[in-house]
Chain A
Amino acid sequence: AQSVTQPDIHITVSEGASLELRCNYSYGATPYLFWYVQSPGQGLQLLLKYFSGDTLVQGIKGFEAEFKRSQSSFNLRKPSVHWSDAAEYFCAVGAGNTPLVFGKGTRLSVIA
């Protein structure tokens, strides 16, 4: 079965600074990989996903993620963080026709 680890529970960055959120997965084959964002009091919204092909994936709101098979990682990045990016970020892994497995999430705080 697949699993996901997000090592950072909480990250604080300054507005305008770059951001990288880490995600490691465990699965025997190439999985489907996702990043979702959850604003306070809301459901989750898809930022981006990776299936195959180009390992650098572009998403909404200026986010991107890079799939690195050798490191079993799918880290999320943004070059310049905005205050509105403060939220909870979840990495998820999918395989075949089984439901997605989510990580514990990383809470992002943005300071002025």
Chain B
Amino acid sequence: EADIYQTPRYLVIGTGKKITLECSQTMGHDKMYWYQQDPGMELHLIHYSYGVNSTEKGDLSSESTVSRIRTEHFPLTLESARPSHTSQYLCASSVGTAGGEKLFFGSGTQLSVL
């Protein structure tokens, strides 16, 4: 059902590298989100966007940045990866009222920073 794609699926990189996690959706949803998920922990919202050229920071302080130049694309960038960034990153999208609509999730990117 989900038409939201994340790449890469797994990524292992060294400290200090710049990386971009890709997220694309083909549903035309105006709202997109990035969540960080550690084992046994809740999903932490790190960035969200309610439309093109609109981005906001979430509840979790993050050293990452995002952009929303096209409706379907919402990449997340880490300028200098650190071991503390090791986590799973989930992208999601929705349409309508943010608090009341179903989220469609990608399969996630598991990032390991050595």
Which residue numbers of A lie inside 8 Å of B, CB to CB? Answer: 4, 9, 31-32, 34, 36, 41-46, 49, 51, 90, 94-105, 107
Q: Is the CB of B105 within 8 A of A45?
A: yes
On whether A43 and B99 interact (CB within 8 A), knowing A102-B43, A104-B40, A104-B42, the answer reads no
The answer for the CA separation of A60 and B28 in the assembled complex, in Å, is 25
Q: Is the CB of B107 within 8 A of A43?
A: yes
Task: Give the interface SS of chain A, mostly helix, strand, loop or mixed.
Answer: strand
Contact of B90 among A34, A43, A99, A101 (CB under 8 A): A43
**8 A Cβ contacts from B60-114 to A:** 90, 92, 97-103, 105-108
Task: Give the interface SS of chain B, mostly helix, strand, loop or mixed.
Answer: loop
Which residue numbers of B lie inside 8 Å of A, CB to CB? Answer: 2, 4, 33, 35, 40-43, 45, 48, 50, 58-59, 90, 92, 97-103, 105-108
Q: Is the CB of A44 within 8 A of B103?
A: yes
Q: With a CB–CB cut-off of 8 A, which chain B residues contact A94?
A: 98-101
Closest partner residue, chain B, to A105 (CB atom): B42
* B29 shortest CB reach to chain A, Å: 13
